[in-house]
């Protein structure tokens, strides 16, 4: 409760949380407000925003409802962002924890693999993976995860290296605890907070990567995505710039919201640790 | 004797996790010039809060009642200049990326308007005063190259660099083993006598404080229970709590 | 079984720190008898904590041999080693860092019963309460988080965890150093009463001869990785032979002068 109050006291965190709440509401209510397929034709082509109140944000080149696209696109962005970040943190935390706790050869091997992934830019990796595996929501998520787990892995390992030497880990060994239980019950939960602090950056980057993949036509073709909408509008950028600007603004706001809320969370937990 | 520091009806309250904690209540205490005052108390007694209050180091948002007066100083006391502070953990109070000589010189330069060369020379002198072997070499060493006892000697050198009139040692020997602890106590006693400083020696160990204190003040739960001349207080403590502290120390010597 | 409870012979350990080899232990040997308190005293850096780490198998010895209850302790691995840990426990210096910061008292005390299968799940709450009462704590404490209770209470919880598996030897590594003087005396009394009731032997590691004098039967004085002298506790405190022993006795902060003043 105290943590929540402290969280709500920082204005940036509140702004971030509000943006995220709006995004979540959009994603959840998309099929309720816009039950029709957002890819279907809803009206005349290239209708400008605020002309027709049944199509408030207008239509694109094929006469598809922009607002419906925005709502359904929020789903994709959120799903990909959260799933990829969760995957990256899970893989990173496990790899980093095992490397840090095992040490020696296992540590060397795991960290060299991490190095290998980290030297290739995450976006190129995602691009290559989707090109080979074919564009679908699942492959996009896996592709983004592949490039994003190395950061959490490094942080988890560094944290575990310091926790491993603490008395309470020695205490768990003295009491006869199995090494795997020590890793997953004593060490991992305590190594997690700094790793989780990365999550806002990863979610934001994942949303951007997904948009970039869709922009290049490598997103799931059966789903509306903001990146795909921006790409779609590019062809008529001079005559109908709103087609690119509207999903672009949505993207920027979302990334900003994720980031602000994440920062707020980090500060809250830091304040709690200072007081403890 | 002149009074160096006069504390009147001092109360300190701060908030922690939404609750108000009263760390000190109605404390009246004087420290005379050249006097060694032992401040005794267990954890939570408020003894460290007292030290921080005197040095003006309490965190923002702390509510302070009463007053701390410095008769004869003529201005508000300046940390480092008028008050030297030695903390419990010497590794935490030294900057790991500066040499020991630079850190001691920094204090001297800030408060005594010396050039770097003069300040560094003074630092070397101070390091020899705190009996660091080979002070020239020690001045160029980094904190991690020194032992715990040596680091505490450096912290003491930095604390006395500007010739403060009051030295506060807050559990300054608690992190050290008994042999090094005895050496540091002897060092503090000598420096205080040589420079005519007043000393506030804060400790949970009454036997240790008794080795250098002229007077002892006993704290418990934020209150000052009693003060007295060291021998007097040890022989006939007024408060049962003081007696129990003395007995706890006596027993460990007697064996059974 | 007859003979000493634990026999350590020729223990040696080197660390390398920033490229330099540091000898922490240079071939030390000692014995601990059943229900005895054997103290290792010495200044910091003398290697006494390394002894604790080797005995508890938290670090590996470079050379030497440890026989505990007739078994070769250094040869045990995996499940066999974990089983022996029931008999050989440890209490750390800092009672806060010795526990998982997320733990509750109840969870900490549940671990030994669960890990070694000493009590069925439904019996464990009762066993935990009995343990708490034995170390002088209220049973209701089991619901509290470790960081909520006082330092003295924490050290009692640490002792409770150590005695849960009915060990024959507990290593106490500076276990009283972080506590207030009055709390220290109470914990000493608790340790003495546990030893009397359950016949536990202690390896009591400390730099403070004053505390050692109250609890130890025999004392070994350590200096620079070797044992400088061994003897009866009273005898060493009264008349130390080694330079380190003399320095430790001289450094005891004592109120003895008070007693002598009174007789003047």
Would you state the pLDDT for residue C262? 46
| Cβ-defined contact of C98 to A174 (cutoff 8 Å) | no
Cα(A49)–Cα(B238) distance, integer angstroms: 87
Would you state the pLDDT for residue C232? 92
Minimal Cβ distance to A167: which of C92, C102, C165: C92
Would you state the pLDDT for residue B252? 46
In this complex, which chains have at least 3 CB pairs below 8 Å with chain C? Answer: A, B
Min Cα–Cα distance to chain B from C249, Å: 9
| Cβ-defined contact of B178 to C208 (cutoff 8 Å) | yes
Count Cβ–Cβ pairs < 8 Å, chain B vs chain C. Answer: 91
In this complex, which chains have at least 3 CB pairs below 8 Å with chain B? Answer: A, C
Nearest residue on chain A to C57, alpha-carbon basis: A174
Minimal Cβ distance to C111: which of A166, A175, A189: A175
Min Cα–Cα distance to chain C from A102, Å: 14
Nearest residue on chain C to A185, alpha-carbon basis: C100
Cα(B215)–Cα(B210) distance, integer angstroms: 8
| Cβ-defined contact of C262 to B235 (cutoff 8 Å) | yes
| Cβ-defined contact of C184 to B248 (cutoff 8 Å) | yes
Mean pLDDT per 10-residue segment, chain A (276 residues): 71 88 90 84 80 82 87 89 92 93 91 92 89 89 92 93 91 93 90 85 88 87 87 87 91 89 77 52
Query: ipTM score here?
Result: 0.87
Within 8 A by CB and 6+ apart from C116, the residues are: A176, C83, C86, C165
Over chain B, what is the mean pLDDT? 88
Radius of gyration of chain C (CA): 19
Any idea which residue has 């900490």 for tokens? C108
Nearest residue on chain A to C170, alpha-carbon basis: A174
Would you state the pLDDT for residue A276? 43
Mean pLDDT per 10-residue segment, chain B (256 residues): 86 81 90 93 89 87 87 79 88 87 89 88 92 89 89 92 91 87 91 92 91 93 93 91 84 44
CB contacts, 8 Å: B18 with chain A: 2
Please write the tens of the pLDDT for every residue from B31-87: 998 899 999 998 889 998 999 999 888 888 888 888 888 887 777 787 778 899 998
| Cβ-defined contact of A176 to C116 (cutoff 8 Å) | yes
CB contacts, 8 Å: C262 with chain B: 235
Min Cα–Cα distance to chain A from B52, Å: 18
Q: How many CB atoms lie within 10 A of CB A230?
A: 23
Per-residue 3-state assignment (H helix, E strand, C coil) for chain A: CHHHHHHHHCHHHHHHHHHHHHHHHHHHHHHHHCCCCCCCCCCCCCCCCCCECCECCCECCCCCEHHHHHHHHHHHHHHHHHHHHHHHHHHHHHHHHHHHHHCHHHHHHHHHHHHHHHHCCHHHHHHHHHHHHCCCHHHHHHHHHHHHCHHHHHHHHHHHHHHHCCHHHHHHHHCCCCHHHHHHHHHHHHHHHHHHHCHHHHHHHHHHHHHHHHHCCCCCCCCCCHHHHHHHHHCCCCCCCHHHHHHHHHHHHHHHHHHHHHHHHHHHHHHHHHHC
Would you state the pLDDT for residue C256? 58
Please write the tens of the pLDDT for every residue from C147-185: 889 888 999 999 999 999 999 999 999 999 888 887 888
Minimal Cβ distance to C182: which of B231, B245, B256: B245
0.90 surpassed by pTM: no
Would you state the pLDDT for residue B43? 84
Phi-psi bin for B176: left (phi > 0), alpha (psi -120 to 50), beta? beta
Would you state the pLDDT for residue B62? 86
Percent of chain B, pLDDT > 90?
Answer: 43
Cα B144 to Cα B86, B95, C18: the distances in Å are 18, 10, 11
Interchain contact C184–B (C-beta under 8 A): yes
Min Cα–Cα distance to chain B from A12, Å: 22
DSSP bridge pairs for B216: B38, B228
Please write the tens of the pLDDT for every residue from C91-125: 998 888 899 988 999 999 999 999 999 988 999 99
- Tokens coding A44: 């005349």
Min Cα–Cα distance to chain C from A165, Å: 10
pLDDT in tens, chain C (264 residues): 568 999 999 999 998 777 778 888 999 999 999 999 999 999 888 889 999 999 999 999 999 999 999 899 999 989 999 999 999 999 998 888 899 988 999 999 999 999 999 988 999 999 999 999 999 999 999 999 998 898 889 999 999 999 999 999 999 999 998 888 878 888 999 999 999 999 999 999 998 888 898 899 999 999 989 999 999 998 998 899 999 999 988 887 766 555 444 443
Cβ(B23)–Cβ(B44) under 8 Å? no
């Amino acid at each position: 409760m105290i943590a929540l109050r402290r969280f709500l006291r920082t204005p940036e965190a509140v702004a971030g949380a509000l943006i995220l709440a709006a995004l979540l509401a959009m994603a959840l209510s998309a099929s309720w407000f816009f039950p029709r397929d957002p890819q279907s034709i809803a009206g005349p082509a290239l209708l400008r925003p605020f002309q027709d109140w049944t199509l408030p944000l207008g239509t694109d080149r094929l006469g598809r409802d922009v607002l419906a696209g925005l709502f359904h696109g929020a789903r994709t962005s959120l799903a990909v962002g959260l799933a990829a970040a969760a995957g990256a943190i899970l893989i990173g935390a496990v790899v980093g924890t095992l490397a840090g706790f095992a040490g020696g050869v296992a540590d060397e091997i795991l960290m060299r693999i991490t190095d290998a992934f980290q030297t290739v830019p995450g976006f190129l990796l995602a691009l290559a993976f989707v090109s080979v595996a074919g564009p679908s929501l699942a492959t996009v998520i896996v592709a983004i995860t592949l490039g994003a787990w190395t950061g959490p892995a490094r942080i988890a390992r560094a944290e575990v290296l310091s926790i491993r030497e603490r008395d309470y880990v020695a205490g768990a060994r003295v009491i006869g605890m199995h090494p795997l239980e020590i890793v997953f019950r004593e060490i991992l939960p305590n190594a997690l907070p700094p790793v989780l602090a990365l999550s806002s950056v990863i979610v934001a980057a994942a949303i951007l990567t997904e948009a970039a993949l869709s922009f290049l036509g490598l997103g799931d073709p059966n789903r509306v995505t903001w990146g795909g909408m921006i790409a779609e509008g590019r062809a008529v950028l001079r005559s109908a710039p709103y087609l690119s600007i509207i999903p672009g603004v949505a993207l920027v706001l979302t990334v900003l919201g994720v980031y602000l809320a994440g920062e707020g969370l980090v500060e809250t937990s830091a304040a709690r640790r200072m007081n403890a | 004797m002149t009074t160096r520091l006069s504390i009147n009806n001092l109360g300190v309250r701060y908030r922690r996790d939404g609750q108000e904690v009263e760390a000190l209540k109605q404390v009246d205490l004087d420290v005379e010039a050249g006097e060694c005052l032992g401040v005794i108390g267990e954890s939570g007694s408020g003894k460290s809060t007292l030290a921080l209050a005197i040095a003006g180091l309490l965190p923002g948002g702390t509510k302070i009642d009463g007053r701390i007066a410095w008769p004869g100083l003529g201005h508000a006391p300046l940390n480092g200049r008028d008050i030297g502070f030695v903390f419990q953990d010497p590794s935490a109070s030294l900057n790991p990326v500066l040499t020991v000589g630079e850190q001691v010189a920094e204090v001297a330069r800030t408060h005594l308007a010396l050039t770097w060369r003069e300040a560094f020379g003074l630092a070397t002198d101070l390091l020899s005063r705190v009996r660091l072997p080979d002070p020239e070499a020690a001045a160029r060493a980094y904190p991690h190259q020194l032992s715990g006892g040596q680091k505490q000697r450096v912290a003491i050198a930095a604390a006395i660099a500007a010739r403060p009139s009051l030295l506060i040692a807050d559990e300054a020997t608690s992190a050290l083993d008994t042999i090094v602890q005895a050496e540091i106590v002897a060092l503090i006693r000598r420096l205080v006598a040589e420079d005519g400083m007043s000393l506030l020696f804060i400790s949970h160990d009454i036997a240790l404080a008794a080795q250098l204190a002229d007077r002892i003040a006993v704290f418990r739960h934020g209150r000052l229970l009693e003060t007295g001349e060291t021998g007097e207080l040890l022989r006939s403590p007024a408060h049962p709590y003081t007696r129990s502290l003395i007995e706890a120390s006596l027993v460990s010597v007697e064996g059974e | 079984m007859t003979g000493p409870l634990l026999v350590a012979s020729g223990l040696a350990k080197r660390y390398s720190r920033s490229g330099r080899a540091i000898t922490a232990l240079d071939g030390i040997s000692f014995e601990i008898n059943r229900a005895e308190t054997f103290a290792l005293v010495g200044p910091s850096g003398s290697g006494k904590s390394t002894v604790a780490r080797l005995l508890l198998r938290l670090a590996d010895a470079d050379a030497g041999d440890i026989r505990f209850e007739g078994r070769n302790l250094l040869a045990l691995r995996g499940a066999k080693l974990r089983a022996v840990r029931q008999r050989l426990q440890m209490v750390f210096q800092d009672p806060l860092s010795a526990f998982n910061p997320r733990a509750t008292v109840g969870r900490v005390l549940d671990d030994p019963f669960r890990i070694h299968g000493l009590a069925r799940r439904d019996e464990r709450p009762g066993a935990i309460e009995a343990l708490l009462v034995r170390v002088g704590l209220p049973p209701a404490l089991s619901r509290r988080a470790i960081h909520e209770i006082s330092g003295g209470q924490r050290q009692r919880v640490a002792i409770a965890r150590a005695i849960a598996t009915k060990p024959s030897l507990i290593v106490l590594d500076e276990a009283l150093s972080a506590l207030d003087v009055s709390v220290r005396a109470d914990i000493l009394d608790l340790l003495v009463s546990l030893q009397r009731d359950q016949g536990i032997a202690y390896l009591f590691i400390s730099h403070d001869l004053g505390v050692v004098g109250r609890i130890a039967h025999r004392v070994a004085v350590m200096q620079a990785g070797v044992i400088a002298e061994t003897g009866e506790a009273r005898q060493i405190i009264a008349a130390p032979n080694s330079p380190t022993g003399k320095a430790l006795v001289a450094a005891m902060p004592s109120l003895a002068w008070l007693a002598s003043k009174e007789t003047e």
